Amino acid sequence: MIAQPEPKQGVLARRDAIVAGLRELVPGSGVIAEPLLLKPYETDGLAAYRQVPLAVVLPETTEQVAAVLALLHREGARVVPRGAGTSLSGGALPMVDAVVVGMMRMNRILEINYADRCARVQPGVTNIGITQAVADAGFFYAPDPSSQLACMIGGNVGMNSGGAHCLRYGVTANNLLGVKLVTIEGEVIELGGEHLDAAGYDWLGLITGSEGQLGIVTEVTVRILRGPEGARAMLAAFRANEVAGQCVDAIIGSGIIPVALEFMDRPAIHACEAFAHAGYPLDAEAMLIIEVEGSIAEQDFLLDRIKEICARFDPISLKVSRSAEESAAIWKGRKGAFGAVGRISPDYLCMDGTIPTSRLPEVLRRIGQMSDACGLQVANIFHAGDGNLHPLIMFDANDASSFARAEKFGADILRLCVEVGGCLTGEHGVGVEKRELMPAQFTATELEQQRRVKSAFDPDWLLNPNKVFPLSPPVAARPLAA
């Protein structure tokens, strides 16, 4: 089990009083304290780690969130913000002495403004819910994490979520215009708005991806974009990872920025094909899914150029879709990748490092060696355009040794990502999963600087203190900003 900060005995002792205080602020079913009803909140998308919280509160307004945080601040109680609970890094893992503040009841779309191309929504609106709300007008919200059917925009802001189309459209931070933030003291701060550039420090940029360390977001204004005339995918399969990597370089080097450029290695191709019957070439070592946008003629022009480039790399097969249906078929396997791996293995860990794309062949070779050495299979999915690598490590959670080996394998992969010039996490966040690896990427001074920034927002370290930063040194020894 993952280590947790030392529980605050005073908070545990005052549990009944804290729950009663919360009930005064959030009436009805909005406060949960019964053990059985707390159970669903004990974990998130990283189900290997579990901890039932002290209580759960489900506020419905910004004012309630502010009052709840002010109360918890007075009590010195820790806080774990939660959206849909889809985090793959344990970002919503509770502590025994913490109150989970769940944002799922704040799920209204407040305003859609086509003239200014933005939407103001509450944090509990799902990612896909924003796109669905504007789709009739031909608009969409660009970041599209795989969990987009379930994950909530508040969590996307917390994790700076990405998706398959980041190369063209950016991640959450690049598509955010404003937030309403409640501080741990219960103050409500408005950051940004409907305008593009902020005056003064870039608080919005700092808040995005801060993993609930700085405050709780209760309102989000995002950019919405008009969709292209159309989009189409092609598939290219190669004899070696190196060759596919060189082909990616050649495409980008030619001046084309595809909206998606996805790479799958042999195990991933096989798992996805067995699951989705998408027609993937089983004799390939590596496969690319490449998507372009525009009118039919523009798509043809770009796909022809990409086809010519791919042809220079001795492909096993090249398949250019001729319709939206054929594109969907090409994507079907990739989009079902997690389910596909889940079908051939009882459990898997989805890792999330980023590497310089030029180092892909070497990284895959070394991951293969690690896989042989630890006796666990791995399938690699890679957002090739932006360097974000998702190794899916297959293991059996009922076998303690298997899980321990999987955790170590994952940590070794992430250290490798840092070693070749990349980073620990591209879009899933540090959470609890990677917090002890942070010294692999940052010096003690750099971590100390980040802790000081956290202290500026949250001097008592009540907000999500079991995430992002290594548990040592303990909170009591951490510096105040001022």
Partner 1 sequence: MSGAVAPGDEAGLIAAVAEAFGSGTPLEVVGNGGKRGLLRPVQAARTLSTGRMSGISFYSPQELVLSARAGTPLSTIAATIAERGQQITSEPPDFSGLLGGEAPQTLGGVVGANLSGPRRVAWGATRDHVLGIRAVNGRGELLRSGGRVLKNVTGLDLCKLLTGSHGTLAVMSEITIKVLPAPERRGTLVLAALDPKAGVAALAAALGSPYAVSGAAYLPEQKSAYLRIEEFAGSVQYRCEKLARQFANTEILDTAASLALWRGIRDAAMLPRAEALWRVSVAPSAGPSILRAVASSGVSGYLDWGGGLVTCAGPATKNAHQAICDAARSTGGVWWLLRAPAPFRAAVDVLPPEAPALAAIRARVQHAFDPRGIFNPLKLRAA
What residues between 368 and 407 interact with partner 1 by CB under 8 A? 383, 385-388
Find the part of the chain contacting partner 1 (CB under 8 A) among 140-148, 164-172, 235-243, 393-401: 164-172
Residue 473 CA to residue 476 CA, distance in Å, equals 8
Chain residues 302-341 in contact with partner 1, contact rule CB under 8 A: 302
**Strand ranges (E), 227-377:** 231-238, 260-265, 286-293, 317-320, 347-350, 353-354
Chain residues 427-446 in contact with partner 1, contact rule CB under 8 A: 427-430, 434, 438, 441-443, 445-446
CB closer to partner 1 out of 400 and 477 = 477
| DSSP annotation of 39 | G
412 binds partner 1 (CB under 8 A): no
Find the part of the chain contacting partner 1 (CB under 8 A) among 79-87, 220-228, 319-327, 371-379: 220-228
Binding-site member from 21, 162, 267, 315 for partner 1 (CB under 8 A): 162
166 binds partner 1 (CB under 8 A): yes
Find the part of the chain contacting partner 1 (CB under 8 A) among 12-20, 97-105, 209-217, 343-351: 209-217
Smallest gap from Cβ 39 to partner 1, in A, equals: 29
* Other beta carbons less than 10 A from residue 401's beta carbon: 10
* Other beta carbons less than 10 A from residue 185's beta carbon: 15
Tokens 């030619």, residue located: 254
Pairing of the two strands 347-350 and 317-320:
unpaired
290 binds partner 1 (CB under 8 A): no
Smallest gap from Cβ 402 to partner 1, in A, equals: 27
Q: DSSP for 325-337, please give it.
A: HHHHHHHHHHHTH
159 binds partner 1 (CB under 8 A): yes
Chain residues 103-132 in contact with partner 1, contact rule CB under 8 A: 113-118
Pairing of the two strands 231-238 and 286-293:
antiparallel
457 binds partner 1 (CB under 8 A): yes
Asked whether 429 and 209 are in contact (CB, 8 A), the reply is yes
Peptide bond into 94 cis (omega under 30): no
Sheet holding 78-82, edge to edge: 31-32, 55-57, 98-102, 78-82
CB closer to partner 1 out of 19 and 256 = 256
Residue 306 CA to residue 300 CA, distance in Å, equals 10
CB closer to partner 1 out of 191 and 286 = 191
Smallest gap from Cβ 13 to partner 1, in A, equals: 31
Binding-site member from 102, 123, 410, 426 for partner 1 (CB under 8 A): 426
CB closer to partner 1 out of 190 and 399 = 190
| DSSP annotation of 233 | E
How far from the centroid of its chain's Cα atoms is residue 378's Cα? 20
Q: In 3D, which of 342, 341, 350 has the Cα closest to residue 407?
A: 350
416 binds partner 1 (CB under 8 A): no
Asked whether 254 and 305 are in contact (CB, 8 A), the reply is yes
Smallest gap from Cβ 430 to partner 1, in A, equals: 6
The residues, ordered by sequence, that sit 6+ positions from 308 with a Cβ below 8 Å of its Cβ are none
466 binds partner 1 (CB under 8 A): no
Q: In 3D, which of 351, 429, 361 has the Cα closest to residue 393?
A: 351
Binding-site member from 199, 400, 476, 477 for partner 1 (CB under 8 A): 199
421 binds partner 1 (CB under 8 A): yes
138 binds partner 1 (CB under 8 A): yes
Find the part of the chain contacting partner 1 (CB under 8 A) among 68-76, 94-102, 125-133, 224-232: 224-232
Asked whether 217 and 210 are in contact (CB, 8 A), the reply is no
| Binding-site size, partner 1 (CB under 8 A) | 98
Q: In 3D, which of 205, 100, 218, 88 has the Cα closest to residue 153?
A: 218
Find the part of the chain contacting partner 1 (CB under 8 A) among 124-132, 298-306, 307-315, 318-326: 298-306
> Which residues lie across from 393 on neighbouring strands?
349, 378
Binding-site member from 59, 124, 145, 209 for partner 1 (CB under 8 A): 209
Binding-site member from 132, 345, 358, 377 for partner 1 (CB under 8 A): 358
Binding-site member from 64, 425, 464, 466 for partner 1 (CB under 8 A): 425
